[in-house]
Amino acid sequence: MSNIALNQNGEQTTTTTGETEERVLTEWTNYEFDDETKLAVSDLDVYYGNDHALKGVSMDIPEKSVTALIGPSGCGKSTFLRCLNRMNDRIDAAAIDGSVTLDGEEIYQDGVNLVELRKRVGMVFQSPNPFPKSIRDNISYGPRKHGDIRTGLLARLLDDDDREAESDLVERSLRDAALWDEVSDRLGDNALGLSGGQQQRLCIARCLAVNPEVILMDEPASALDPIATAKIEELIESLADEYTVVVVTHNMQQAARISDQTAVFLTGGELVEYDRTEKIFEDPDSQRVEEYITGKFG
């Protein structure tokens, strides 16, 4: 079997050994949905030097739902996710071409305030990364930085102390991240003393504290045990009532359990198929997607 496939332009692309030859059809990625579009990505290309990591990816992401991104290692899932809040801008080697809109507004244009963008489109990483500070300070750090609450010595001297607002915010964020009951009696303790699963929920709470609209998660449960993973999965599903969640996962059962729609990226940085999650897992159009989800490669 050859390991050559054709992309949308009919060009040959090398694929992982074991993948079948196949031309990707545009209709496979044209997922239609009834809800409002939160993020619209069109013709997105990302290069790291000569490495063409994402090739002409277009997909619209509906608001208040869970979108899963799956695919074999190196296919560009994290790269794609980082494009959604311009985190790739921080990588010197990365060159990005194409368009991403948030509520219809282009995020790749001059004058976009990146701090504000990343407040609206927050991110949770694979390994929990709490600050070496108290649980309370981990949550209130962002809102303080953005000027949403004022606490501390200066605020007290200026008689501008929002201690009560801070407590409310800390409690609400921890409740929304399903962590409050486990930590309410030790908010002053160092966050690094929490378990891995608790630390990850704390990072989600920290993200929620600045009132995001979109939450990007890159394999948020891959470093966790099954019980902690189940809690994160349950949390992700509940967050979709209020937020637009985009989650990268290596775990296909997890994608099937928690997401409303699934995008499958395959070798070479192509988006091959994007549809309702049941459709992707039960009856995909692409033979390569079928082979990937049934474990034939990847």
Ligand X SMILES: Nc1ncnc2c1ncn2[C@@H]1O[C@H](COP(=O)(O)OP(=O)(O)OP(=O)(O)O)[C@@H](O)[C@H]1O
76 interface partner picked from Mg ion, ligand X, none, CB below 5 to 8 A per type:
ligand X
Query: Which tokens hold the place of 69?
Result: 């991104």
- Of 125 and 131, CB closest to Mg ion: 125
CA dist 233 and 231 (Å) reads 5
Instruction: Report if residue 114 touches ligand X, rule: CB under 6 A.
Output: no
Instruction: Report if residue 89 touches ligand X, rule: CB under 6 A.
Output: no
| Long-range contacts from 249-256, C-beta under 8 angstroms, 24+ separation | 249/68, 249/69, 249/70, 249/219, 249/221, 249/222, 250/70, 250/73, 250/219, 250/222, 251/221, 251/222, 252/70, 252/281, 252/293, 254/68, 254/221, 254/229, 255/68, 255/70, 255/281, 256/281
Adjacent-strand bridge partners of 13: 5
Is the separation of the CB atoms in 35 and 63 below 8 Å?
yes
Q: What is the nearest approach in angstroms of ligand X to the Cβ of residue 109? A: 23
Instruction: Report if residue 51 touches ligand X, rule: CB under 6 A.
Output: yes
Instruction: Report if residue 93 touches ligand X, rule: CB under 6 A.
Output: yes
Is the separation of the CB atoms in 215 and 239 below 8 Å?
yes
Instruction: Report if residue 53 touches ligand X, rule: CB under 6 A.
Output: yes
Q: What is the nearest approach in angstroms of ligand X to the Cβ of residue 79? A: 3
Is the separation of the CB atoms in 17 and 286 below 8 Å?
no
Among 8, 20, 74, 196, binds ligand X (CB under 6 A): 74
Q: What is the nearest approach in angstroms of ligand X to the Cβ of residue 81? A: 8
DSSP string, 132-165: SSBHHHHHHHHHHHTTS---SHHHHHTT---HHH
Query: Which tokens hold the place of 204?
Result: 């989600």
The one segment of 73-81, 199-207, 253-261, 288-296 that binds ligand X by CB under 6 A: 73-81
Q: What is the nearest approach in angstroms of ligand X to the Cβ of residue 49? A: 7
Instruction: Report if residue 13 touches ligand X, rule: CB under 6 A.
Output: no
Among 6, 91, 114, 154, binds ligand X (CB under 6 A): 91
Q: What is the nearest approach in angstroms of Mg ion to the Cβ of residue 126? A: 8
Q: What is the nearest approach in angstroms of Mg ion to the Cβ of residue 53? A: 11
Among 77, 136, 201, 206, binds ligand X (CB under 6 A): 77
Q: Report the interface residues with ligand X, using CB under 6 A.
A: 48, 51, 53, 71, 73-79, 91, 93
